């Protein structure tokens, strides 16, 4: 089975699919970190809880950047390489 999806199976171009996957991973991570924050707080570990809060914020930021990039690419018909966050194809999003 091939590992590269070019849209023939899902109907979504590989690049767009990758952005969708990235957003989902960031949002999933945000939810998981909620649980980790609660665990740390329950154990009275404020340092760890704060660490996980910062990580949760980075995951939210990554999700928002990914959504903005996908929104613009879909509006442009998939031809845009830079969105309103300033991310281009070689820039890294946080997640």
Three-class secondary structure assignment of the chain: CCCCCCCCCCCCCHHHHHHHHHHHHHHHHHHHHHHHHHHHHHCCCHHHHHHHHHHHHHHHHHHHHHHHHHHHHHHCCCCCCCCCCCCCCCCCCCC
Q: Is the pLDDT of residue 11 over 80?
A: no
Residue 83 confidence class, pLDDT cut points 50, 70, 90: very low
Residue 71 confidence class, pLDDT cut points 50, 70, 90: very high
Supply the pLDDT for residue 63. Answer: 98
Q: Is the pLDDT of residue 32 over 90?
A: yes
- Tens of pLDDT along 39-70? 999 999 999 999 999 999 999 999 999 999 99
């Amino acid at each position: 089975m091939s590992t590269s999806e070019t849209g023939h199976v899902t109907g979504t171009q590989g690049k767009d699919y990758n952005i969708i996957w990235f957003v989902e991973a960031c949002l999933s991570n945000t939810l998981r970190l909620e649980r980790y924050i609660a665990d740390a707080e329950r154990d009275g570990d404020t340092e760890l809880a704060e660490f996980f809060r910062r990580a949760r914020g980075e995951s939210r930021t990554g999700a928002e950047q990914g959504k903005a990039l996908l929104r613009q690419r879909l509006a442009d018909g998939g031809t845009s390489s830079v969105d309103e966050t300033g991310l281009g194809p070689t820039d890294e999003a946080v997640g």
